């Protein structure tokens, strides 16, 4: 079992999230998980003439491994968990490249396995995720088939299942426990289950306590119902609950996981401008919301940044003995750069990065302080 691992932040491989993956030092007790949802970082523009290299020849188009092997290799983490998320279903509001990847690669077990094998040059760093295809294709024993196909290509494997219903969990865990070993990992999506032991989840909790592997409970800390327009300016976010940090061991897990302190992206193309920001208070383990009623990107700088800087949450973190708002906190540094006109702030995507960088720094600070030992 992995005695060092504490936290698994999940990324969806989108532009601002990749910036965080490149900038943050995860050290050795945090393993990022990337849910890869498109084959390339961006599709080639077919209407344009292909670019030439320094010799005047046309460049060879990038491949999946051309994109992700360098990215993973340069992430400052001991291990990186890689998932091609079977549980994500394509929908019409997604970008074309995401739909193509989910339908053409992820939905096909053999194709998905082929793509994971492309990352085997990093076998000692990459931990590929195996999930059941039963709910997608009705294929039985798909977990065991993936295990046989991947076990000789990577040092460790991760198995992902859900606590949404005991029937699905039981079906998955029967296969998983027959092959999982102490060097492997089990990720349980806790869905909307209560974050305490109760009649609905007691059987799952009991089973987790019997497994000879590293167990991780993943839960979205911010509900899908939370919207920027629905935030109460300067107040605690209704629909955000980070209690998993306090309860994951009671639920039978060794580690906890979430979407880096932000709302899980639905992979849609985006909507109208609605300036808002969800800010993590590391002292109280709560989230506070800030928003502007004006639907203008300039409001991030004019309204939201001053509100963050003058908030009670900022005061508490500045006064705490732990250095939550140090210059090593890249999110906090960006907020101050915007305040001092050192960089632009009129970008919703940038504030997504600020939220992730700040949250990761705060959790890393708590981990290094021994809060979870």
Question: Domain boundaries in the chain?
Answer: 1-43+62-218, 227-236+268-373
pTM of the model: 0.94
Which two structure tokens, joined as six digits, stand for 366?
């708590």
> What is the phi/psi pair of residue 170, to 5°?
-65, -40
Query: What is the distance between the alpha carbons of residues 188 and 169, in angstroms, rounded to a whole number?
Result: 9
Distances, alpha carbon 359 to alpha carbons 10, 86, 202, 281, in Å: 12, 27, 30, 9
As a whole number of angstroms, the distance between CA 329 and CA 360 comes to 9
CATH no., domain 1-43+62-218: 3.20.20.70
Residue 210 dihedral angles phi and psi, to the nearest 5°:
-100, -10
Q: How many residues does the chain have?
A: 373
CA angle 272, 275, 279 (to 5 degrees): 135
- DSSP H or E run through 323: none
37 φ/ψ angles, rounded to the nearest 5 degrees: -120, 5
Per-residue pLDDT of the chain (373 residues; tens, 9 = 90+): 988 999 999 998 788 999 999 999 999 999 999 999 999 865 554 444 555 555 555 567 789 999 999 999 999 999 999 999 999 988 888 989 999 999 999 999 999 999 999 999 999 999 999 999 998 999 999 999 999 999 999 999 999 999 988 888 999 999 999 999 999 999 999 987 888 899 889 999 999 999 999 999 999 999 989 999 999 999 999 999 999 999 999 999 999 999 999 998 888 766 678 999 999 999 999 999 999 999 999 999 999 999 999 999 999 999 999 999 999 999 999 999 999 999 999 999 999 999 999 999 999 999 999 999 9
């Amino acid at each position: 079992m992995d005695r060092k691992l504490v936290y698994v932040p999940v990324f969806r491989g989108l532009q601002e999230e990749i910036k965080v993956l490149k900038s943050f030092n995860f050290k050795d007790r945090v393993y990022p998980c990337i849910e890869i949802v498109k084959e390339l970082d961006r599709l080639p523009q077919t209407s344009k003439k292909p670019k030439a290299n320094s010799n005047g020849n046309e460049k060879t188009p990038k491949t999946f491994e051309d994109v992700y092997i360098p990215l993973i290799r340069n992430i400052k983490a001991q291990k990186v968990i890689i998932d091609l998320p079977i549980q994500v279903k394509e929908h019409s509001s997604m970008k074309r490249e995401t739909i193509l990847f989910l339908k053409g690669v992820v939905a096909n077990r053999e194709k998905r396995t082929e793509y994971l094998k492309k990352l085997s040059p990093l076998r000692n760093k990459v931990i590929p995720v195996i999930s059941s295809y039963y709910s997608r294709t009705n294929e039985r024993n798909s977990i065991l088939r993936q295990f046989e196909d991947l076990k000789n290509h990577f040092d460790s494997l991760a198995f992902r299942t859900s606590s949404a219903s005991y029937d699905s969990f039981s079906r998955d865990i029967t296969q998983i426990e027959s092959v999982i070993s102490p060097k492997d990992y089990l990720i349980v999506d806790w869905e909307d289950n209560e974050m305490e032991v109760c009649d609905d989840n007691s059987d799952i909790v009991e089973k987790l306590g019997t497994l000879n592997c590293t167990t991780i409970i993943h839960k979205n800390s911010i509900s899908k119902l939370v919207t920027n327009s629905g935030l109460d300016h300067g107040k605690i976010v209704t629909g955000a609950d980070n209690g998993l940090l306090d309860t994951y061991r009671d639920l039978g897990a060794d580690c906890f996981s979430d979407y880096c302190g932000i709302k899980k992206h639905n992979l849609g193309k985006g909507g109208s401008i609605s300036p808002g920001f969800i800010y993590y208070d590391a002292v109280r383990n709560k989230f506070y919301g800030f928003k502007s009623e004006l639907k203008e990107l300039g409001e991030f700088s004019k309204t939201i940044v001053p509100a963050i800087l003058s908030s009670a949450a900022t005061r508490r973190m500045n006064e705490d003995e732990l250095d939550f708002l140090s210059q090593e906190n890249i999110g906090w540094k960006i907020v101050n750069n915007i305040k001092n006109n050192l960089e632009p702030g009129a970008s919703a995507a940038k504030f997504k990065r600020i939220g992730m960088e700040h949250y990761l720094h705060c959790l890393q600070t708590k981990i290094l302080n021994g809060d979870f030992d």
